Structure 1
Amino acid sequence: MNDPATLLAELVRIPSVGGSPEETLIQERLAGWMSAAGLEVDHWPIDLDELTGRPDFPGMEAPRTRAWGLVGRLPGTGGGRSLMFNAHVDVVPPGSSPAWGGDPFSGRVEGDRLYGRGSCDMKGGLVAALTAVEELAGDRPRGDVVVACVVGEEDGGLGTYALLDRGWRADACVIPEPTGLAVVPAAAGALTFRLRVPGLSAHAARRASGVSAVEKFLPVFTALRELETRRNTGADPLFARWDLAYPLEIGMVRAGDWASSVPGELVAEGRIGVALDESPERARRAMEEAVGRACDADPWLARHPVTVEWWGGQFAPARTTDAAFVAAMTDAAQGAEQWAAPYGSDLRLLTAAGIPTVQYGPGDVDLAHAPGEHVPLSQVREAARALTRLAVRHCA
């Protein structure tokens, strides 16, 4: 059997940032791995124009001119239940933080840790799934085991949406996201938004004759922080380990076009968490109402209100209600703890398709999207063993 660390380092060194050419390159590499491992391979071009035009498309933020789907199937001997491992291959940009200590895609190993963007989120989990399938190929279970490598998860769920559209299904699914080897049967939602705050441009030397859009954003930002507090009161007990179950954050702010001018517009982009069992429509309405109240309290904004746009990834919340499968994963993980994820994931697309799904994988979610991202190799190996145990029992 191949060393998981070697494969993981190779995959981390492919900088498969969402929308980049390497997002396609890594699918080609993985298709080759699957073929060499004896899997039946389905590697197809995704019809972006057709899928993105659908009313139920889950959103896409990274510009793409092409994207590829990839599934490898280990056929069972017959008569057993099928199991899917669903892992995304796209990663977020690494940024320029000195915390990387060099190349953010180095894949370097220090002791038990393998470093690099995507090592934790979630190429470590992908390698755990591939290692499990490689182990199962030597003594096949009765049911099929499917490995789905998907693109576009970070910015909406393009890959899993295309996978389901192509007709791929299984009796149950594990997403090996970084959970620290805990079992995660539920995930909050997350909606991407854009705010446009109007001001009035003027020369900075005569700033009193203008209206700063930056200044007018401040009461709106305060209102959003207050909304976040209200929305996190009485959160589902599955979120008890988190300080915030449903975070609301502004991730990008742009204002003005000249240093010595009063900024005439501010554009802020962010995400709002959607509570378990809450509809995305209700979450949108709550935010729009909060912004509206902030505008009503300001004479300028009352006449020139902030606009709210919903774009990009639109993640609904979801939970798996199949208690037997959750228990099976927990048992295979040798009694792992359970909690809910405060972020959106492809779990909601798979459960909506009627596939009981949980998240379970190596790595600390606090390291995902962070500088110095890494994954413990011991956890990658333990996750592979747990996924193997699950497949042996579930697919029997």
Structure 2
Amino acid sequence: MVDGTIQHDVTEAEAADLLSELVARDSQNPPGRERACAEFIVETLEEWGLDAQLVEEPYEDRPQVVAETGAGSPESGDLVLNGHIDVVPPGDREQWSVDPFEGGVDGNRVYGRGASDMKSGVAAGMFALRAAHEHGVDGRVTLTCAIGEETAEPGTKTLLDNVGGDFGIVLEPTELVVDTVGKGLAWYEVELRGESSHASSPDLGLNVLDGLFSFNDELTAYREELAEREHPLVGSSLCTPTMLEAGTKENVIPDSATLTFDRRFLPEENIKEIDKEIDDLVEPLRERGFEISVTRTRTYEAAEINADREIATVVRQHSHDIAGVDTAPHGKSASTDQRNFVNDAGIPAIIWGPGTSAQSHTVDEWARTDLLVDAVEVLCRTIEELCVERR
């Protein structure tokens, strides 16, 4: 092992080049096009002399990546860096002023879908792994690049079935702020059945839209009650109606509707209890004669570690020293694969990365290359502190 602090030679130009190449690999999910990006990551890491593998679980046609370096000494820590390589679709491309999958560079920004969420984090993890490999570490540093994060698929969870560690960093966009808690997310579809009739005789039918409009008071009361459930780092619970499908023709009383709720919840809330809350919420609609079914269609669990856990304090201090980042405890209002580390694998993990959270899923999404280079430096110092024995 080479003595001294782990060094890297990443410039903003090299950072821009790598991030641009990652963005240029269209890895939209849905439908799940991660393969080209995964193969590029493995090829690049192997060119750097690292041991990198494609993992064809849980889906053979959508491989994930695992790469590692280090001696694996039991006297030193093992750190897992985690990123997801799937990105949300770009939407209406006419709204973009750049090609979302070109990876264009302008000044200190790389543009394109996934630049901030979260291929800048993946790039930082790749560079840090290279630096750790060139330096040599007593413990182990592992980079996992997962599929399916945007659609709650078991990408990271599957990888962690075979990858262990003492600490984890989920490289989501936080602008180098350390988040130790993330909200949970559940999506619910509420299906209503009424009775159709001609719109000239509405009393002969049972209008599902009338039912939903009359339901506003109950929904408002529930949302006000949720606002009182607060976490000091991520705020209050939420229940937001986000989609409504109803009606077949202008002069036909609609007899069916599907209302979708986005329910954000805190670590102390239980998903089974939330299921019951949503079912109780729509009970007045049943009492008004509508047939109601409620289905939870997607779930991301909430997760939290103590703000004073070692991985949090170490990264927080180095982020402050390198980039002047605030050291106050912080949380993320969105859901991430931190839950797979904390809840499934029992690995204390933070949410932290160089991307800009406000750029996630936006038109003309971009990420800053200066923050990417800073992130590599923070990761190198973190690896030095946690994975290298003191001589």
Task: Report TM bin, short chain.
Answer: 0.7 to 0.9
Question: Paired residue for 1:365?
Answer: 357
TM-score, structure 1 as length reference: 0.86
How far apart are the structure 2 equivalents of 1:384 and 1:234? 37
Aligned mate of 1:121, from 117, 120, 123: 117
Answer yes or no: is 1:315 the counterpart of 2:300. Answer: yes
* Counterpart Cα distance in 2 of 1:150 and 1:326: 22
Structure 2: how far apart are the matches of 1:189 and 1:32?
35
Contact (CA 8 Å) 1:46, 1:162: kept in 2 or not?
yes
Q: What residue number does 1:191 align with?
A: 186
SS in 2 for 1:261: coil
Matched to 1:122, the amino acid is: M
Q: Secondary structure at the match of 1:218?
A: helix
Matched, 1:302 2:313: no
> Contact 1:247–1:342 (CA<8 Å) still a contact in 2?
no
1:110 aligns with 2:106: yes
Q: Which residue of 2 aligns with 1:331?
A: 317
Which residue is 2:371 aligned to? 379
Cα distance in 2 for partners of 1:122, 1:229 equals 33
Aligned length: 369
Ranges in structure 1 where 5+ consecutive residues have no aligned partner:
49-64
Amino acid paired to 1:383: A
Q: CA deviation at 1:309?
A: 0.5
Deviation at 1:207, TM superposition (A): 4.1
Of 186-195 and 93-102, more deviation after overlay is shown by: 93-102
- Mean alpha-carbon deviation: is it higher for 255-264 or for 120-129? 255-264
- 1:253-281 Cα shifts (integer Å, max 9, x gaps): 22233444322211122320111221111
Indicate the residue corresponding to 2:15 in structure 1: 4
How far the C-alpha of 1:74 sits from its partner, in A, is 1.4
- Corresponding residue for residue 39 of structure 1: 50
Q: Is the 8 A contact 2:62 2:147 kept in 1?
A: yes
Of all paired residues, the percent bearing the same amino acid is 24
**Mapped partners of 1:302, 1:66: distance in 2:** 48
Check if 1:249 corresponds to 2:235: no
Given candidates 77, 80, 100, the residue that maps to 1:81 is 77
Tell me, yes or no, if structure 1 residue 341 matches structure 2 residue 341.
no
Q: In 2 relative to 1, CA 370–350 (structure 1 residues): closer, same or farther, beyond 3 Å?
A: same
Matched residue type, 1:150: A
Could you tell me which residue of structure 2 aligns to residue 54 of structure 1? Answer: none
> How far apart, in 2, do the equivalents of 1:155 and 1:199 lie?
32
**One-letter amino acid matched to 1:365:** S
Q: Distance in 2 between matches of 1:156 and 1:146?
A: 22
Give, in whole Å, the separation in 1 of the partners of 2:32 and 2:341: 26
Q: CA deviation at 1:183?
A: 0.3
> CA contact under 8 A between 1:192 and 1:310: conserved in structure 2?
yes
Is the 8 Å Cα contact of residues 120 and 355 (structure 2) preserved in structure 1? Answer: yes
Compared CA separation, residues 246 and 99, structure 1 to 2 (3 A): farther
Match of 2:146 among 144, 150, 165: 150
TM-score, L = length of structure 2: 0.87
Aligned Cα root-mean-square deviation (Å): 2.2
CA contact (8 A) 1:190 1:316 kept: yes
Q: How far off its partner does 1:144 sit?
A: 1.0
Code of the aligned partner of 2:213: L
Q: What is the CA deviation profile of residues 173-216 of structure 1, one whole-angstrom value per residue up to 9, with x for unaligned ones?
A: 00110112110011111112111022322334544433332332
1:342 partner amino acid: S
- Opposite residue 370 of structure 2, the aligned amino acid is S
Give yes or no for contact 1:224–1:287 (8 Å, CA) kept in 2. no
**SS at 2:86's partner residue?**
coil
Distance 2:215 2:46 in 1: 53
Preserved CA contact (<8 Å) 1:217 1:266: no
What letter is aligned with 2:91?
Answer: G
User: Rg larger in 1 or in 2?
Assistant: 2
Q: Which consecutive unaligned segments of at least 5 residues does structure 2 have? A: 1-8
Q: Distance in 1 between matches of 2:214 and 2:17?
A: 51
- The one-character-per-residue Cα deviations of 1:214-241 (angstroms, maximum 9, x if unpaired) are 332234455334323321225111125x
Q: Report if the CA contact (8 A) 1:250-1:268 is conserved.
A: yes
Shift of 1:371: 2.0
Deviations 1:74-128 (A, max 9, x none): 1237442110101011111211165422422232222222221111111111111
**Which of 235, 255, 258 is residue 230 of structure 2 equivalent to?**
235
State how far apart, in whole Å, the 1-side matches of 2:21 and 2:246 are: 40
* CA offsets 1:308-349 (integer angstroms, 9 cap, x no match): 11123x112111136222111111212643311112211111
Aligned to 1:27: 38
Aligned partner (choices 221, 224, 227) of residue 226 of structure 1: 221
Conserved? CA contact 1:277–1:318, under 8 Å: no
Query: What residue in structure 1 maps to residue 277 of structure 2?
Result: 286
Alpha-carbon distance change, 252 to 234 in structure 1, aligned in 2, over 3 angstroms: closer
Q: Classify 1:223/1:11 alpha carbon distance in 2 versus 1 (closer, same or farther; 3 Å).
A: farther
Deviation by residue 1:6-50 (Cα, 9 ceiling, x = unmatched): 1111111222112435222211111212222222223121145xx
The aligned residue for residue 217 of structure 1 is: 212
Q: Write the deviation string for residues 326-381 of structure 1: whole angstroms up to 9, x where unpaired.
A: 11111121264331111221111111211010011123322212223221221111
Q: SS at the partner of 2:230?
A: coil
2:305 partner amino acid: T
The answer on 1:178 being equivalent to 2:154 is no
